Amino acid sequence: MDDEFYEDDFEDEEVLENAVLCPTCEDVTSHQILREKEAGRGKDYLLRCEQCSTVHEIQFRAPPLKRVPFMLTDGPNSYMATVDLDSDEWLDIDDVF
């Protein structure tokens, strides 16, 4: 059948340690962590690319929180409440807490 596929049709994916975009290679490559520093709600890293040996910094930060008002219903009782969500999270109708 033409619709069938075999695992042999796909190459094994390479698993990279500490993979980030290297500004010199312009590709996602493995990096060695030279320094790690807590910064606010995230971390700053000093990295060395294992392909080209370029040293560069990268910052990881949690997305900012947003306060969202919503109607909370518990049986016959309903009341307004708020919840803090990351900017990439969503609430949908009928979400259960």
Indicate whether 86 and 52 sit together in one domain.
no
Range of the domain at 77: 63-97
Indicate whether 24 and 12 sit together in one domain.
yes
- Is 1 a member of any domain? no
Rounded to 10 degrees, the C-alpha dihedral 64/67/72/78 comes to 180
Based on the structure, what is the number of domains in the chain? 2
Q: Which residue numbers in the chain have pLDDT < 50?
A: 1
Indicate whether 25 and 43 sit together in one domain.
yes
3-state secondary structure at position 85: strand
Q: What is the DSSP string of 16-84?
A: -SSEEEETTTTEEEEEEEEEEEEETTEEEEEEEETTT--EEEEEEEPPPEEEEEEEEEETTEEEEEEEE
Indicate whether 71 and 41 sit together in one domain.
no
3-state secondary structure at position 8: helix
Q: Which helix (H) or strand (E) holds 9?
A: none
pLDDT for position 30:
94
Indicate whether 32 and 53 sit together in one domain.
yes
pLDDT for position 52:
96
pLDDT for position 70:
84
Half-sphere exposure of residue 6: CA atoms within 13 angstroms, side-chain side: 4
